Amino acid sequence: MVMDSLSHRLIFIRHGETNWNAEGRLQGQHDTPLNGRGRDQAANAGREARKYIAREGLADLRYVASPLSRTRDTMEIARGAMGLDPKAYDQDDRLMELSFGRWEGLLWPEVKAMDPWAAKAREGDKWLFQPPGGESYAMLADRLRPWLATVTGDTVMVSHGGVARVLMAMIGGASTAQAPMADIHQGRVLLFQNGVRRWL
């Protein structure tokens, strides 16, 4: 799964918390707003990113977000905390979250009760399993690969947990078995550089 490591830095921010996150619901591509804690997390992430960018002396960064409202709001709050114009960033549909299809909006116990065979199959191979009407991590990797080819300079992106896990396998040194199991902290900054990853 590993592709050539990027020659540029990818500064990844996962969107802040939503009520569905707090409840443990599968969000996927359902458009849910940030809650109060999520907005605080977005501001904290912006401050952390600003410190790192200043420390490293980075300039001419590109900023891009998934088009879902929780990622756009996180980007705008983070940019405000960085002293930047909140609205001056790009959006790209390819950065949207993994789709959980018919499972979106459900809690895991509900998925297991409704579709026990499929839930068990997913636990057996999270990378390749495709939820009914949704996407596998492998399919998400196919969606992200052409976007990564557009990264021609240091970039700050705001996206989703599933996207971060796939990036870990593609450019962050994780295997396709490890990446789907990774905890992706909300409102935290994850740096991808030279084929490895680290939390700031």
Question: CA–CA separation, 75 vs 95, rounded Å?
Answer: 13
Q: Which residues are catalytic?
A: 15, 97
Using an 8 Å Cβ cutoff, are 136 and 144 in contact?
A: no
Q: What is the DSSP string of 124-178?
A: H-TTT---TTS--HHHHHHHHHHHHTT--S-EEEEE-HHHHHHHHHHHSS--TTT
Residue 62 dihedral angles phi and psi, to the nearest 5°? -95, 140
Which region holds residue 156: left if phi is over 0, alpha if psi is between -120 and 50, else beta?
beta
Q: What is the CA radius of gyration of the chain?
A: 16
Q: How far is CA 80 from the centre of its chain?
A: 20
